[in-house]
A and B are shown apart, each in its own frame.
Chain A
């Protein structure tokens, strides 16, 4: 991951290109893509950032190792929510391994504006939720005798 300069955000006027990204972030914030829940999903996970109160809950469906549906509900600042909205658009059609290979840098380049050290947690909450959700699911399926894809979560996110 690139070293983050704490002074990076806001230490200069944004370039024209970054201005476009900023508009894009605001657009995703106001009109988030792929919001909603999937009661019959494969991976259901919730993370929050206690410092900010940002919350993200994801619902991912995998069919034969490939993500066939991704939804989320969330609450929080523009950066956290836009980041999740943008990430959600990337997930469908990707394999579990593809998704595991998404890096923090990928998220930052999706956002496209400099994110300083104070906001980096907001920016990366989306990826954390997806990665932790997948790893819980894998740990669970590895220790269970059932085949991974037969595991279903109930609507409340509890294991049946």
Chain B
């Protein structure tokens, strides 16, 4: 509650033009921030300005417009680097978390031998499972999964058991998009490194909600998406430790990523361009930079504290409803709340909530193995942002009760 004052939520909310609308005649309550966040005016305007005033290809033209575009594109890398405590050469732009993880599976995969092991956790998003599964199939590798404890935390004791010198890669979601579990990444980094393995963090659900410093975590790689952190779709980031990126093979080949091309061979450009083949998403990079400026202005510390308070309120409110089971850890957790409603399928619930203007996600949330483990086919998920209010949560609770009345449960 204290931070509601320092954060001026209503004012922040007015920075997001889309949030002012009505849906089905009711004010929009947007609670699907885990899927994608809305965009503040300054992000939309920054991209508009780029197209209106300095659209040109980067790293190519020797004229004024191209110089402006190149500067803005490089500046965006610099802003991302500063935002996560990395250096400029360590920030590679991709299409999103999924592409960042595929890049790693491809490029690191080249160095692995049959029998090598990759360790994930049971709560991963499909994008941190499938690329490794495919790699394992191609190269004869072994995949292992760190278990969850009964209270939905990552089981560190089990991690210590299955991460061994045979393990070459440990890759985990920093914050779960289903359960809200926050992985103990510093401990996991130590366990991985003690065994000589690389440590990868999927930060898609953590970067938008907490201050991140990749050096403090001591991860080797860190992946995230622009569109989940108030930036545009089509741009994401892969951070990698410089000495590792230098030794790795590029994932995509073509223009921009080369230094010299001969008819028989080519040499690679400097970092980070070595990993950015082809004309990049320039407008999106400009938009991402604007999103980072926006978040920096709000303050990630404030975001984290406000969302922690709001999440605790929502957890308590939802848990108090009859017939509702909230999944995930109690206490400190991410701002994602998955729940089931007795007698109502998540899709039916989403449709009924939509009629009240409330946007939530219903389904398996790209985590089918986890759903199987929990013995369910899906959940309703409310994922919160700093622009959500206690009132939004009250409306959610009221709409759930209304849905239960419709279904007579």
Check B351–A52 contact: CB distance below 8 A.
no
Identify A11's interface contact among B24, B345, B363, B407, CB under 8 A: B24
Check A9–B351 contact: CB distance below 8 A.
yes
Cβ of B371 within 8 Å of any chain A Cβ, yes or no, is yes
Cβ of B348 within 8 Å of any chain A Cβ, yes or no, is yes
Check B355–A77 contact: CB distance below 8 A.
no
Identify A52's interface contact among B347, B354, B406, B408, CB under 8 A: B347
Check B363–A119 contact: CB distance below 8 A.
no
Cβ of B377 within 8 Å of any chain A Cβ, yes or no, is yes
Cβ of A107 within 8 Å of any chain B Cβ, yes or no, is no
Check A75–B407 contact: CB distance below 8 A.
no
Check B378–A52 contact: CB distance below 8 A.
yes
Q: Shortest distance in angstroms between A116's beta carbon and chain B's nearest beta carbon?
A: 8
User: B378 — nearest CB in chain A belongs to which residue?
Assistant: A53
Cβ of B125 within 8 Å of any chain A Cβ, yes or no, is no
Check A76–B355 contact: CB distance below 8 A.
no
Cα A148 to Cα B150 in complex, Å, equals: 53
Cα A35 to Cα B118 in complex, Å, equals: 44
Cα A118 to Cα B364 in complex, Å, equals: 15
Cβ of A79 within 8 Å of any chain B Cβ, yes or no, is yes
Check B371–A53 contact: CB distance below 8 A.
yes
Binary interface profile of A, 34-64, with partner B (CB < 8 Å = 1, else 0)?
Answer: 0000000000000000011110000000000
Cβ of A122 within 8 Å of any chain B Cβ, yes or no, is yes
User: A81 — nearest CB in chain B belongs to which residue?
Assistant: B345
The winner among B371, B377, B408 for most chain A CB atoms within 10 A is B377
Check A78–B354 contact: CB distance below 8 A.
no
Cβ of A10 within 8 Å of any chain B Cβ, yes or no, is yes
Residues in chain A near residue B355, CB distance under 8 A: 9-10
Cα A85 to Cα B331 in complex, Å, equals: 43
Residues in chain A near residue B354, CB distance under 8 A: 9-10
Contact status of A10 and B347, CB under 8 A, knowing A52-B363, A53-B364, A75-B377: no
Q: Shortest distance in angstroms between A15's beta carbon and chain B's nearest beta carbon?
A: 15
Contact status of A77 and B407, CB under 8 A, knowing A11-B24, A53-B377: no
Residues in chain A near residue B371, CB distance under 8 A: 53
Residues in chain B near residue A30, CB distance under 8 A: 408
Residue ranges of B at the interface with A (Cβ–Cβ < 8 Å): 24, 344-348, 351, 354-355, 363-364, 371, 377-378, 406-408
Residue ranges of A at the interface with B (Cβ–Cβ < 8 Å): 9-12, 22, 26, 30, 51-54, 75-79, 118-119, 122
**What are 25 A-B pairs at a CB distance below 8 A?**
A9-B354, A10-B351, A10-B355, A11-B24, A22-B406, A26-B408, A30-B408, A51-B363, A52-B347, A52-B363, A52-B377, A53-B364, A53-B377, A53-B378, A54-B347, A75-B377, A76-B347, A76-B377, A77-B347, A77-B348, A78-B344, A78-B345, A78-B407, A79-B347, A79-B348
